[in-house]
Structures are given as C-alpha cells and as structure tokens.
Amino acid sequence: MKHLQIAIDGPVAAGKGTAARLLANRLAILYVDTGGMYRALTLFARQQGVDWEDEAAICRVIAELKPQVKLRNPLDSEKDGRLITVLLNGKDVSWKIRTEEVSWGVSVITRYRCVRDYMLPLQQQLAQEQSVVMEGRDITTRVLPDAQLKIYMTANEKIRAERRYKQLLEKGDNVSFEEVLEQLKKRDCQDKGRKNDPLVKAPGVWKLDTTVLTIEGVVEQIIQRIEQKKLMARANGQS
C-alpha cells in the first residue's frame, strides 16, 4: 500500500471528527469526513423534495442527477470553527448539513445500499491518491478494510451528548441538553437497526474509549499507536 490509511469508526459525538482533524494536521495528511459527505447527500435529497424514507426515490434522484460532493481544507475566509469545507455541486454547505434535522435524515438514508454504493468509490479514491485520516461509519469494515491503522472510537452516552450540545451552542443553535440527549438516543437506536451496526466494533479493530480523555489526549494515544506500528515514516514520506 503506497499511502498511509488511518480508518476511524464509532458512534455520533464520540470525538471522531475533531480527533481525526487534529491528527491529520499533526501528520500533514488529508482529513476525510465521510459523514459530511453523506450529510451533503441528505441535504441534496431534501432540496429535491424527496422524502428521506422513500428509498426508491432517493436512489432514483441520485442516479439521475449524480450530485457532486467534494471536501477541502477550509480557506482562511472559512475558518469559522468548521473542521472541513463540504461542497455540494460547488456550493459551500458546511454548516447547512450540521442541523439536527439533517442528523436525523442522514441516519435514514445511509441505510440504503444505493447511497453507500454511490459514495464508496469516491471515498476509496481519496485514499488511493494520498495519505488520509478517514472517519465515519463502516470505514474500518467496508471503505478501508486494509487500512494500516483501524480505530473504533467511542464514549459513554452522556459524554457524547454533552459534546454534541456544546457544538450546537457554539453554532448558535437554541437547543436544550435534554433535546440533544434524546436525539442521540434515537440516533443510536436507529443505527442498531442497520445491517452493519456502527455501534459494534469489528474484530481486530483497536477500541479507543474517549470518555475520560481530552481531545489532545486522544490524539496523543493515536500518535503513540502509529509510532508503535512504525507508520510515521510513511505518513511523512507519502503524504
């Protein structure tokens, strides 16, 4: 394998996004937020007036219109707290996809095979072209099953809800902690109904519980793991 691939799975608000972004910066490689890519498709479906529960309509509109979803590191003018800039058909939707409504919708449409099949080659191509830290769902099992480092990142329910609540407040959303916790519980319940349950760690994947760790502590643990596996040279030399 020419490039370094670090794959990170786990439930919502486990710290995957922030940790992956900091890790990518530390290694000077690309951070890939696959969840953001799926959220963009979710927003696209809503823009087309398609019901998220209508699998046939979702598959049809994606096949016919072939929405373009791209990622890039934020420009200087875009450094407003985002981890990555997400473009949908050339338009910046980085914050439009971070609403609780889209969070619910994305957990619905990612159950559809056509959606995951549409995204799979786009995600894999990114990792073939350069070294990446890729986080999301099914990354260690389906997207990058041969990654040199595979991590399942998790934390207890209350801590995850507190992290999500803080993110929403920083964005200016008027929500209560109780609402966020309830939505997180619903999201977890919905995920458990999926064939490839993202709340279950795949065999051979390193489980990293972030409940009592700071984000810097999470990154340090991953860096230590990379050094133990002697992958640092590849990250530095092949990025």
Chain length of the chain: 239
User: What pLDDT is attached to residue 238?
Assistant: 47
What pLDDT is attached to residue 138? 86
Residue written as token pair 């999926």: 194
| Domains present along the chain, CATH in parentheses | 5-234 (3.40.50.300)
List, run by run, the mean pLDDT of 10-residue segments along the chain (239 residues): 88 89 93 93 97 97 95 88 91 93 91 94 91 92 94 94 88 88 85 63 90 94 90 57
SS3 3: coil
pTM: 0.80
Dihedral sign from CA coordinates of 91, 94, 99, 101: positive
Return the H-helix or E-strand segment holding 25: helix 16-27
Task: Give the per-residue pLDDT at 194.
Answer: 63
Under 8 Å between Cβ of 82 and 167? no
For residue 7, the cross-strand partners are 134, 150
Which residue shows structure tokens 């900091």? 22
